[in-house]
Amino acid sequence: MRLITPFDPWRGKLCTCPEKYSFSPYTGCGHKCIYCYITSYIQNAFQPRVKTFTIAQLERELKKLDKNKPISIANSSDPYTPMEAKNMLMREVLPVFIKKGFKLLIVTKSNLVVRDADILSKGRVCVSITITTLEEKIAKRLEPNAPPPIMRLKALETLSKMGVPTAIRLDPIIPGVNDATASIRALLEAACKAGVKQVTTSTYKAKPDSLSRLVKTFPELDEYIRSLYSKGERIGRSTYLPRELRRELILKVREVAQELSMDFATCREGFPELHTAATCDSSHLL
Ligand code: SF4
């Protein structure tokens, strides 16, 4: 089985990503975010396992790939899942990609990425860190095993100062949980101050298992959230919020991003006309 594959989010018609590759050193993720969609197609998704591969195998695959297309690490797991602190796989694989001249898009929810700043700063690399809110108590309920948002913010600041382009993913926005304008503003202002160039956002796309985790974690919002999604639209294998509400939520983020002169994009929402960033995945920052 190939380790590096063309990125293809289920041939999603709303995906605006430029062509790129996808690589993940892990199957599954230990951050256990309640809204995570990987539980719908990966068995024991919250019990991450190291993929079996060798550096020689990785090098063989790289020989056949187009260096103009970036490699995204990772999409169906987090490369800095908690067990990476001990495993240090990223410290082994990053130099291989960088030495061969590949551009990298690192997507994570962990400040552990800073451990590898010495390597990242030597390559053409952009680091996107997901932060859904700066409110610690809400973040703990949403992302129980991920580092606190303030540490993620600090990681963005450190990387930005070292010249590594950074972006935040305010992803997903969940009505009643993290959609207050004041909370969005506080997050974007802090990110901007940390040197972050871009924000990419999206709304929560419901799947039966993640929805049941969500309402179990926020029982006070059960009725409200279910009623919103019952009026939503089915796109691909997910249920989206009604289009008008999605647009309203996304415009809230866009307005603040524009005030702060940050690049803005959405992820699989169907509003590409609202993007001010050249790419939704920040590959233009590479
Ligand atoms: S960090 Fe990403 S892959 Fe990991 S549990 Fe959270 S949403 Fe899922």
Q: Provide the pLDDT for residue 10.
A: 62
Residue-number span of the structural domain to which 173 is assigned: 4-204+242-285
On whether residue 211 sits in a domain, the answer given is no
Condensed to tens digits (0 to 9), the pLDDT of residues 196-249 reads: 999 999 999 999 999 999 999 999 999 999 999 999 999 999 999 999 999 999
The CATH number of the domain where 153 resides is what? Answer: 3.20.20.70
191 within domain boundaries: yes
Q: How many domains does the chain contain in total?
A: 1
Global pTM reads 0.96
Ligand 1 centroid from CA 23, angstroms: 15
Ligand 1 within 6 A of 31 CB? yes
Contact indicator for 129, 164 with CB cutoff of 8 Å: no
Would you call 120 helix, strand, or coil by DSSP?
helix
Q: Which amino acid is at 280?
A: C
pLDDT for 75: 86
Would 226 be classed as within a structural domain? Answer: no
Calculate mean pLDDT across residues 178-199: 98
Does 213 map to a domain?
no
- Does residue 12 carry a pLDDT above 80? no
Closest atom of ligand 1 to 46 CA is 5
Whole-number mean pLDDT of the chain? 96
Please report the atom of ligand 1 found closest to the CA of residue 130. Answer: 1
Summarised one tens digit per residue, pLDDT across range 116-149 is 999 999 999 999 999 999 999 999 999 999 999 9
Phi-psi region of 48 (alpha: psi -120 to 50; beta: other; left: phi over 0): beta
Instruction: Work out which ligand 1 atom sits closest to the CA atom of 108.
Output: 1
Residue 52 lies in a domain: yes
Q: What's the maximum distance between 2 C-alpha atoms anywhere in the chain?
A: 53
Q: Average pLDDT of 78-103?
A: 98
109 lines ligand 1 (CB under 6 A): yes
Burial of 273 (0-12, 13-18, 19+ CB in 10 A): exposed
| 81 C-alpha to ligand 1 centroid (Å) | 8
Q: Is residue 224 part of a domain?
A: no
Probe target for ligand 1 pocket from 31, 46, 76, 131, with the most ligand atoms within 8 Å of CB: 31
Among residues of the chain, what percentage have pLDDT more than 70?
A: 99
In a domain, 222, yes or no: no
